[in-house]
C-alpha cells in the first residue's frame, strides 16, 4: 500500500550530511525506501560506498543514488556538494543535516576551563559552521524552485546545557537559533526549515562519549529517521516546531525488568 510519505517524497532529491553512519545512515535508508533520490555526504568514502550500495534504487527517473566525500566545515566542499547534486539531478528538494561531533578528536569529557581553543573550534566548525555552510549551499537552488525542505538535527543539549559538554551545547543551541532565523527568512520562498532535537540515540556517536556509557534505553537511529521522514512529508502548510524525540519507558518494560530480577 502506498502511504502519504511515499506520495510526498517519491522522485524528490535529498542530500543527507553525515549520511555514512548513525542517524544519517538510517535517514538515507528511510528516504530511499520512500522513493527519494539520495545524495550521501560523509567524510569517509568507504562508509559512503557501503550506504549507497545498500539503498534500494528509486523507481522514478531511474537516476541512482550517489555519494560525496565532503567536509561540512569547508565552504568549497559544500559548494561542490550542491553543484554536483544539481549536475546529477537538476534540483535539490531536501536537505537533512546529521553531520556532527560531540567533542574534539581524542578528547574526553572535561570542564570548560580545560578545553583548548582547538577543541572548541573543531566542534563549532563541524556542528554550527557546517550547518550554516550546508544550508547556505542549497538555498539558491531551493529559492529558484520556490520549494524546499530542510531538517537540521540539533539535540536536547541545544535546549538545556550539560556539564562537560560546553562546545557541543553551544553549537546545538546555535543550530536552533540559526534554523529559526532562516525559517523566517525563507518561508515566503516556499522553503520549510525544521529542527529536530533527539535525546540519547544508540549510534557510534556515543563512542566519542567514553568513558560515559550509552544509556540502556537509547533510541534506535531508525526511530529518529522515521520522524525525519514524517517531518519532510508534512503538508506544505504544516511544520513541527523544534520537536524532541526521546526514549519512552513503558510500564510493561519496567515490569519485565522487575520480574527478570
State the catalytic residues: 168
CA distance 230 to 245: 13
| Angle subtended at Cα 179 by Cα 178 and Cα 183, rounded to the nearest 5 degrees | 120
CA distance 104 to 167: 9
CA distance 149 to 226: 16
- Pick the closest to residue 19 from 7, 2, 31, 33 (CA basis): 31
| Region of residue 200 (left: phi > 0; alpha: psi -120 to 50; beta: else) | beta
- Residue with grid cell 537559533, as numbered in its chain: 177
For helices 22-33 and 221-232, give the axis angle rounded to 10 degrees.
50
Query: Using CA of residue 143, residue 130, residue 14, residue 200, what is the dihedral sign?
Result: negative
CB 155 within 8 A of CB 128: no
Name, in order, each residue with C-beta under 8 angstroms of 56's C-beta and a sequence gap of 6 or more.
Answer: 32, 33
DSSP string, 12-69: -EEEEETTTSHHHHHHHHHHHHTT-EEEEEES-HHHHHHHHHHSPPPSSS-PPPEEEE
Amino acid at each position: 500500500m502506498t502511504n502519504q510519505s511515499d506520495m510526498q517524497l517519491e522522485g524528490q532529491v535529498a542530500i543527507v550530511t553525515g549520511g555514512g553512519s548513525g542517524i544519517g545512515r538510517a535517514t538515507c535508508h528511510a528516504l530511499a525506501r520512500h522513493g527519494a533520490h539520495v545524495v550521501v555526504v560523509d567524510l569517509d568514502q568507504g562508509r559512503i560506498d557501503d550506504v549507497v550500495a545498500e539503498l534500494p534504487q528509486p523507481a522514478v527517473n531511474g537516476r541512482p543514488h550517489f555519494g560525496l566525500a565532503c567536509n561540512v566545515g569547508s565552504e568549497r566542499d559544500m559548494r561542490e556538494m550542491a553543484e554536483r547534486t544539481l549536475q546529477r539531478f537538476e534540483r535539490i528538494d531536501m536537505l537533512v543535516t546529521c553531520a556532527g561531533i560531540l567533542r574534539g578528536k581524542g578528547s574526553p569529557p572535561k570542564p570548560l576551563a580545560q578545553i583548548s581553543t582547538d577543541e572548541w573550534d573543531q566542534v563549532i566548525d563541524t556542528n554550527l559552521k557546517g550547518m550554516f555552510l550546508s544550508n547556505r549551499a542549497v538555498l539558491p537552488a531551493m529559492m529558484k524552485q520556490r520549494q524546499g525542505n530542510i531538517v537540521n538535527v540539533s539535540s536536547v543539549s541545544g535546549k538545556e546545557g550539560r556539564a562537560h559538554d560546553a562546545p557541543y551545547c553551544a553549537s546545538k543551541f546555535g543550530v536552533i537559533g540559526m534554523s529559526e532565523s532562516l525559517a523566517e527568512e525563507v518561508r515566503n520562498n516556499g522553503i520549510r526549515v525544521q529542527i529536530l532535537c533527539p535525546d540519547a540515540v544508540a549510534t557510534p556517536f556515543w563512542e566519542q562519549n567514553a568513558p560515559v556509557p550509552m544509556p540502556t534505553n537509547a533510541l534506535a537511529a531508525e526511530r529518529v529517521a522515521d520522524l525525519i521522514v514524517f517531518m519532510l512529508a508534512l503538508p506544505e502548510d504544516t511544520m513541527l516546531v523544534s520537536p524532541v524525540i526521546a526514549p519512552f519507558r513503558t510500564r510493561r518494560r519496567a515490569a519485565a525488568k522487575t520480574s527478570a530480577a
